[in-house]
Amino acid sequence: MTDVIRRSTADPTRDADRTPDVGRDLRRRPGRVRRSVSRGSIIWGFLIPALLLFTYFKFIPMFAGIRMSFHDVRPFLGDEWVGWANYAAVLGDERFRSAIWHTILLGVGGSAGALVGGLALALLLEGSSKFLWLVRTAAFLPVVTATAVVAEVWRIIYYPAADGYLNAGLGLFGIEPVRFLEDPSTALMSVMVVGIWQGAPYNMVIFLAGLAAVDRSLYEAAAIDGAGVMQRLRHIVVPALRPALTIVLVLAAIRSLRVFTDVWVLTGGGPSGATEVWMTRTYSLGFERNEVGIASAASILLLVVTVVLTLATAAALRRRKDA
Protein backbone atom coordinates (compact mmCIF):
# COMPACT_ATOMS: atom_id res chain seq x y z
CA MET A 1 0.00 0.00 0.00
CA THR A 2 2.84 2.31 0.88
CA ASP A 3 4.48 1.50 -2.47
CA VAL A 4 1.31 2.41 -4.36
CA ILE A 5 1.03 5.70 -2.54
CA ARG A 6 4.73 6.37 -3.15
CA ARG A 7 4.39 5.68 -6.89
CA SER A 8 1.37 7.93 -7.11
CA THR A 9 3.10 10.79 -5.36
CA ALA A 10 6.38 10.19 -7.14
CA ASP A 11 4.80 10.29 -10.61
CA PRO A 12 1.88 12.72 -10.37
CA THR A 13 1.75 13.27 -14.16
CA ARG A 14 0.77 9.68 -14.95
CA ASP A 15 -2.95 10.22 -14.48
CA ALA A 16 -2.72 13.79 -15.62
CA ASP A 17 -1.33 12.68 -18.98
CA ARG A 18 -4.43 10.66 -19.66
CA THR A 19 -6.86 13.49 -19.10
CA PRO A 20 -5.50 15.77 -21.85
CA ASP A 21 -5.72 12.82 -24.30
CA VAL A 22 -9.42 12.48 -23.58
CA GLY A 23 -9.85 16.19 -23.88
CA ARG A 24 -8.08 16.25 -27.21
CA ASP A 25 -10.32 13.46 -28.49
CA LEU A 26 -13.38 15.36 -27.33
CA ARG A 27 -12.10 18.50 -28.95
CA ARG A 28 -11.26 16.71 -32.21
CA ARG A 29 -14.59 14.94 -32.64
CA PRO A 30 -16.70 18.07 -33.29
CA GLY A 31 -14.18 19.13 -35.93
CA ARG A 32 -14.38 15.76 -37.65
CA VAL A 33 -18.16 15.85 -37.52
CA ARG A 34 -18.20 19.36 -38.94
CA ARG A 35 -15.83 18.35 -41.75
CA SER A 36 -17.92 15.28 -42.63
CA VAL A 37 -21.14 17.33 -42.51
CA SER A 38 -19.65 20.06 -44.67
CA ARG A 39 -18.31 17.48 -47.15
CA GLY A 40 -21.70 15.80 -47.34
CA SER A 41 -23.39 19.18 -47.82
CA ILE A 42 -21.10 20.00 -50.73
CA ILE A 43 -21.80 16.64 -52.39
CA TRP A 44 -25.56 16.96 -52.01
CA GLY A 45 -25.37 20.58 -53.07
CA PHE A 46 -24.08 19.40 -56.45
CA LEU A 47 -26.41 16.39 -56.66
CA ILE A 48 -29.75 17.93 -55.69
CA PRO A 49 -30.11 20.27 -58.73
CA ALA A 50 -29.32 17.42 -61.09
CA LEU A 51 -31.69 15.08 -59.24
CA LEU A 52 -34.47 17.68 -59.38
CA LEU A 53 -34.00 18.13 -63.13
CA PHE A 54 -33.78 14.38 -63.64
CA THR A 55 -36.98 13.87 -61.61
CA TYR A 56 -38.87 16.57 -63.47
CA PHE A 57 -37.83 15.55 -66.98
CA LYS A 58 -37.46 11.76 -66.48
CA PHE A 59 -39.35 10.23 -63.58
CA ILE A 60 -42.48 12.38 -63.67
CA PRO A 61 -43.02 11.86 -67.45
CA MET A 62 -42.28 8.14 -67.02
CA PHE A 63 -44.92 7.70 -64.32
CA ALA A 64 -47.32 9.85 -66.34
CA GLY A 65 -46.72 7.55 -69.31
CA ILE A 66 -47.40 4.49 -67.16
CA ARG A 67 -50.68 6.06 -66.02
CA MET A 68 -51.73 6.97 -69.56
CA SER A 69 -50.94 3.47 -70.82
CA PHE A 70 -53.93 2.21 -68.79
CA HIS A 71 -56.30 4.97 -69.97
CA ASP A 72 -58.03 6.11 -73.11
CA VAL A 73 -56.52 9.59 -73.18
CA ARG A 74 -59.13 12.15 -74.17
CA PRO A 75 -57.95 15.75 -73.85
CA PHE A 76 -60.54 18.13 -72.37
CA LEU A 77 -62.97 15.22 -71.88
CA GLY A 78 -61.21 13.29 -69.15
CA ASP A 79 -59.25 10.06 -69.37
CA GLU A 80 -61.13 6.77 -69.27
CA TRP A 81 -59.72 3.68 -67.57
CA VAL A 82 -59.29 0.79 -70.03
CA GLY A 83 -56.88 -1.46 -68.13
CA TRP A 84 -54.70 -3.69 -70.32
CA ALA A 85 -56.65 -2.91 -73.48
CA ASN A 86 -53.94 -0.55 -74.79
CA TYR A 87 -51.26 -3.23 -74.38
CA ALA A 88 -53.48 -5.75 -76.14
CA ALA A 89 -54.00 -3.26 -78.97
CA VAL A 90 -50.25 -2.78 -79.33
CA LEU A 91 -49.46 -6.49 -79.43
CA GLY A 92 -52.40 -7.16 -81.74
CA ASP A 93 -51.37 -4.49 -84.24
CA GLU A 94 -49.94 -6.18 -87.34
CA ARG A 95 -47.95 -3.12 -88.30
CA PHE A 96 -46.46 -2.96 -84.82
CA ARG A 97 -45.37 -6.61 -85.00
CA SER A 98 -43.77 -5.85 -88.35
CA ALA A 99 -42.05 -2.83 -86.81
CA ILE A 100 -40.65 -5.04 -84.03
CA TRP A 101 -39.22 -7.42 -86.63
CA HIS A 102 -37.62 -4.53 -88.51
CA THR A 103 -36.18 -3.24 -85.23
CA ILE A 104 -34.60 -6.64 -84.51
CA LEU A 105 -33.10 -6.88 -88.00
CA LEU A 106 -31.81 -3.33 -87.88
CA GLY A 107 -30.44 -3.78 -84.36
CA VAL A 108 -28.66 -7.08 -84.96
CA GLY A 109 -27.25 -6.13 -88.36
CA GLY A 110 -26.29 -2.60 -87.36
CA SER A 111 -24.72 -3.68 -84.06
CA ALA A 112 -22.69 -6.45 -85.71
CA GLY A 113 -21.51 -4.16 -88.49
CA ALA A 114 -20.61 -1.35 -86.08
CA LEU A 115 -18.74 -3.81 -83.85
CA VAL A 116 -16.67 -5.23 -86.70
CA GLY A 117 -16.12 -1.79 -88.22
CA GLY A 118 -15.12 -0.28 -84.88
CA LEU A 119 -12.65 -3.10 -84.21
CA ALA A 120 -11.15 -2.73 -87.70
CA LEU A 121 -10.75 1.03 -87.24
CA ALA A 122 -9.18 0.53 -83.81
CA LEU A 123 -6.64 -1.96 -85.15
CA LEU A 124 -5.80 0.31 -88.09
CA LEU A 125 -5.49 3.47 -85.99
CA GLU A 126 -3.69 1.96 -83.00
CA GLY A 127 -0.22 3.30 -82.41
CA SER A 128 1.74 6.33 -81.22
CA SER A 129 2.33 8.19 -84.46
CA LYS A 130 1.97 11.94 -84.08
CA PHE A 131 -0.37 12.12 -87.08
CA LEU A 132 -2.81 9.44 -85.87
CA TRP A 133 -4.72 11.89 -83.68
CA LEU A 134 -5.83 13.75 -86.80
CA VAL A 135 -7.05 10.57 -88.49
CA ARG A 136 -8.82 9.45 -85.30
CA THR A 137 -10.52 12.83 -84.99
CA ALA A 138 -11.71 12.65 -88.59
CA ALA A 139 -12.98 9.11 -88.07
CA PHE A 140 -14.85 10.16 -84.91
CA LEU A 141 -16.69 13.06 -86.55
CA PRO A 142 -19.82 11.02 -87.43
CA VAL A 143 -20.38 10.40 -83.71
CA VAL A 144 -20.37 14.05 -82.67
CA THR A 145 -22.45 15.14 -85.66
CA ALA A 146 -26.19 15.36 -85.03
CA THR A 147 -28.04 12.23 -86.17
CA ALA A 148 -30.54 14.31 -88.13
CA VAL A 149 -27.70 15.99 -90.04
CA VAL A 150 -26.04 12.63 -90.76
CA ALA A 151 -29.31 11.20 -92.03
CA GLU A 152 -29.94 14.21 -94.24
CA VAL A 153 -26.45 13.94 -95.75
CA TRP A 154 -26.98 10.25 -96.48
CA ARG A 155 -30.39 10.98 -97.97
CA ILE A 156 -28.60 13.22 -100.47
CA ILE A 157 -25.98 10.53 -101.10
CA TYR A 158 -28.77 8.02 -101.74
CA TYR A 159 -30.47 10.30 -104.29
CA PRO A 160 -32.09 7.82 -106.69
CA ALA A 161 -31.33 9.56 -109.97
CA ALA A 162 -28.38 8.61 -112.16
CA ASP A 163 -26.55 11.80 -111.16
CA GLY A 164 -26.82 11.05 -107.44
CA TYR A 165 -23.53 10.74 -105.58
CA LEU A 166 -23.68 7.00 -104.96
CA ASN A 167 -25.45 6.12 -108.22
CA ALA A 168 -22.90 8.14 -110.18
CA GLY A 169 -20.15 6.02 -108.66
CA LEU A 170 -22.02 2.80 -109.40
CA GLY A 171 -22.55 4.02 -112.96
CA LEU A 172 -18.80 3.89 -113.51
CA PHE A 173 -19.06 0.11 -113.18
CA GLY A 174 -22.08 -0.14 -115.48
CA ILE A 175 -24.62 -0.56 -112.66
CA GLU A 176 -28.06 0.91 -113.20
CA PRO A 177 -29.30 3.58 -110.73
CA VAL A 178 -30.62 2.05 -107.52
CA ARG A 179 -33.58 3.50 -105.61
CA PHE A 180 -31.99 2.87 -102.24
CA LEU A 181 -34.65 4.44 -100.01
CA GLU A 182 -37.63 4.07 -102.32
CA ASP A 183 -37.34 0.33 -102.97
CA PRO A 184 -38.73 -1.86 -100.11
CA SER A 185 -36.09 -4.50 -100.84
CA THR A 186 -33.15 -2.12 -100.26
CA ALA A 187 -34.54 0.54 -97.91
CA LEU A 188 -33.88 -1.28 -94.62
CA MET A 189 -30.35 -2.24 -95.64
CA SER A 190 -29.65 1.35 -96.68
CA VAL A 191 -30.76 2.62 -93.27
CA MET A 192 -28.58 -0.05 -91.63
CA VAL A 193 -25.51 1.20 -93.50
CA VAL A 194 -26.04 4.69 -92.07
CA GLY A 195 -26.26 3.26 -88.54
CA ILE A 196 -23.05 1.29 -89.03
CA TRP A 197 -21.26 4.33 -90.46
CA GLN A 198 -22.19 6.39 -87.39
CA GLY A 199 -21.77 3.67 -84.76
CA ALA A 200 -18.41 2.19 -85.79
CA PRO A 201 -16.30 5.23 -84.73
CA TYR A 202 -17.95 5.20 -81.29
CA ASN A 203 -16.96 1.55 -80.81
CA MET A 204 -13.51 2.40 -82.15
CA VAL A 205 -12.81 4.69 -79.20
CA ILE A 206 -13.82 2.00 -76.70
CA PHE A 207 -11.67 -0.60 -78.45
CA LEU A 208 -8.70 1.79 -78.59
CA ALA A 209 -8.95 2.19 -74.82
CA GLY A 210 -8.87 -1.59 -74.47
CA LEU A 211 -5.94 -1.99 -76.84
CA ALA A 212 -3.93 0.61 -74.93
CA ALA A 213 -3.80 -1.79 -71.96
CA VAL A 214 -2.24 -4.63 -73.99
CA ASP A 215 1.41 -5.26 -73.16
CA ARG A 216 3.46 -4.69 -76.33
CA SER A 217 5.92 -7.39 -75.29
CA LEU A 218 3.21 -9.96 -75.98
CA TYR A 219 3.20 -8.97 -79.66
CA GLU A 220 6.98 -9.29 -79.82
CA ALA A 221 6.95 -12.68 -78.10
CA ALA A 222 4.22 -13.92 -80.44
CA ALA A 223 6.13 -12.70 -83.49
CA ILE A 224 9.28 -14.48 -82.30
CA ASP A 225 7.29 -17.69 -81.84
CA GLY A 226 6.09 -17.39 -85.42
CA ALA A 227 2.46 -16.46 -84.69
CA GLY A 228 0.63 -14.93 -87.62
CA VAL A 229 -1.67 -11.93 -87.63
CA MET A 230 -4.85 -13.97 -87.09
CA GLN A 231 -3.24 -15.95 -84.27
CA ARG A 232 -2.15 -12.77 -82.51
CA LEU A 233 -5.62 -11.34 -83.00
CA ARG A 234 -7.25 -14.45 -81.56
CA HIS A 235 -4.96 -15.14 -78.61
CA ILE A 236 -3.85 -11.64 -77.59
CA VAL A 237 -6.20 -8.96 -78.87
CA VAL A 238 -9.58 -10.63 -78.38
CA PRO A 239 -8.97 -11.73 -74.74
CA ALA A 240 -7.70 -8.25 -73.88
CA LEU A 241 -10.80 -6.65 -75.41
CA ARG A 242 -13.39 -8.69 -73.51
CA PRO A 243 -14.23 -5.87 -71.03
CA ALA A 244 -14.53 -3.39 -73.91
CA LEU A 245 -16.62 -5.89 -75.85
CA THR A 246 -19.00 -6.16 -72.90
CA ILE A 247 -19.52 -2.40 -72.88
CA VAL A 248 -20.01 -2.27 -76.65
CA LEU A 249 -22.60 -5.05 -76.68
CA VAL A 250 -24.60 -3.62 -73.78
CA LEU A 251 -24.69 -0.17 -75.39
CA ALA A 252 -25.59 -1.72 -78.74
CA ALA A 253 -28.50 -3.59 -77.16
CA ILE A 254 -29.85 -0.31 -75.80
CA ARG A 255 -29.32 1.71 -78.98
CA SER A 256 -30.76 -0.93 -81.28
CA LEU A 257 -34.23 -0.66 -79.75
CA ARG A 258 -34.27 3.13 -79.59
CA VAL A 259 -33.39 3.91 -83.19
CA PHE A 260 -35.63 6.67 -84.51
CA THR A 261 -34.04 9.84 -85.89
CA ASP A 262 -32.11 8.38 -88.80
CA VAL A 263 -35.06 6.21 -89.88
CA TRP A 264 -37.52 9.09 -89.62
CA VAL A 265 -35.35 11.52 -91.58
CA LEU A 266 -34.33 8.99 -94.25
CA THR A 267 -37.62 7.23 -94.93
CA GLY A 268 -40.25 8.21 -92.37
CA GLY A 269 -40.91 4.49 -91.94
CA GLY A 270 -41.56 3.90 -95.63
CA PRO A 271 -41.75 2.82 -98.32
CA SER A 272 -44.94 0.91 -97.47
CA GLY A 273 -43.73 0.38 -93.90
CA ALA A 274 -40.55 -1.40 -95.04
CA THR A 275 -38.40 0.54 -92.57
CA GLU A 276 -40.94 1.17 -89.83
CA VAL A 277 -39.41 0.42 -86.42
CA TRP A 278 -40.64 0.41 -82.85
CA MET A 279 -40.10 4.12 -82.21
CA THR A 280 -41.49 5.36 -85.52
CA ARG A 281 -44.63 3.28 -85.04
CA THR A 282 -45.02 4.67 -81.51
CA TYR A 283 -44.57 8.20 -82.83
CA SER A 284 -47.19 7.62 -85.52
CA LEU A 285 -49.70 6.26 -83.01
CA GLY A 286 -49.24 9.13 -80.58
CA PHE A 287 -48.78 12.19 -82.78
CA GLU A 288 -50.39 11.29 -86.09
CA ARG A 289 -53.34 9.12 -85.03
CA ASN A 290 -53.72 10.80 -81.61
CA GLU A 291 -53.92 7.43 -79.84
CA VAL A 292 -51.85 8.60 -76.88
CA GLY A 293 -52.83 5.73 -74.59
CA ILE A 294 -51.74 3.07 -77.09
CA ALA A 295 -48.54 4.98 -77.83
CA SER A 296 -47.82 5.17 -74.09
CA ALA A 297 -48.31 1.41 -73.80
CA ALA A 298 -45.88 0.88 -76.67
CA SER A 299 -43.33 3.14 -74.94
CA ILE A 300 -43.64 1.28 -71.63
CA LEU A 301 -43.18 -2.04 -73.43
CA LEU A 302 -40.06 -0.60 -75.05
CA LEU A 303 -38.75 0.42 -71.62
CA VAL A 304 -39.35 -3.05 -70.18
CA VAL A 305 -37.78 -4.85 -73.14
CA THR A 306 -34.76 -2.51 -73.08
CA VAL A 307 -34.12 -3.14 -69.37
CA VAL A 308 -34.56 -6.91 -69.73
CA LEU A 309 -32.33 -7.08 -72.82
CA THR A 310 -29.63 -4.97 -71.17
CA LEU A 311 -29.59 -7.10 -68.01
CA ALA A 312 -29.66 -10.33 -70.00
CA THR A 313 -26.77 -9.22 -72.21
CA ALA A 314 -24.68 -8.14 -69.23
CA ALA A 315 -25.45 -11.38 -67.35
CA ALA A 316 -24.59 -13.58 -70.34
CA LEU A 317 -21.28 -11.81 -70.90
CA ARG A 318 -20.45 -11.97 -67.17
CA ARG A 319 -21.26 -15.69 -67.10
CA ARG A 320 -19.06 -16.28 -70.13
CA LYS A 321 -16.24 -14.30 -68.54
CA ASP A 322 -16.46 -16.30 -65.30
CA ALA A 323 -16.47 -19.56 -67.26
Q: Which residues of the chain have pLDDT under 50?
A: 1-20, 22-23, 26
Pick the closest to residue 99 from 198, 5, 226, 188 (CA basis): 188
Exposure string over 217-248, b if 16+ CB within 10 A, otherwise e:
eeeeebeeeebeeeebeeebbeebbeebbbbb
Pick the closest to residue 180 from 159, 163, 196 (CA basis): 159
CA–CA gap between residue 63 and residue 81 (Å, rounded): 16
Residue 310 backbone phi and psi in degrees, to 5: -65, -45
Q: Strand, coil or helix: what is 267?
A: coil
E-strand ranges in the chain read: 71-72, 80-81
- Res 35: pLDDT: 61
Q: Which residues pair with 72 in a beta bridge?
A: 80
The share of the chain scoring above pLDDT 90, in percent, equals: 36
CA–CA gap between residue 55 and residue 49 (Å, rounded): 10
Rg (CA), the chain: 31
In angstroms, what CA-CA distances link 115 with 42, 247, 248?
41, 11, 7
- Res 314: pLDDT: 76
pLDDT tens digits for 171-189? Answer: 999 899 999 999 999 999 9
Assessment of whether the complete model's pTM goes beyond 0.85: no
- DSSP code per residue over 31-96: HHHHHHHHHHHHHHHHHHHHHHHHIIIIIHHHHHHHHHTTEE--TTT--EE-TTHHHHHHHH-HHH
DSSP structural state of residue 176: P
- Res 37: pLDDT: 61
- Res 41: pLDDT: 81
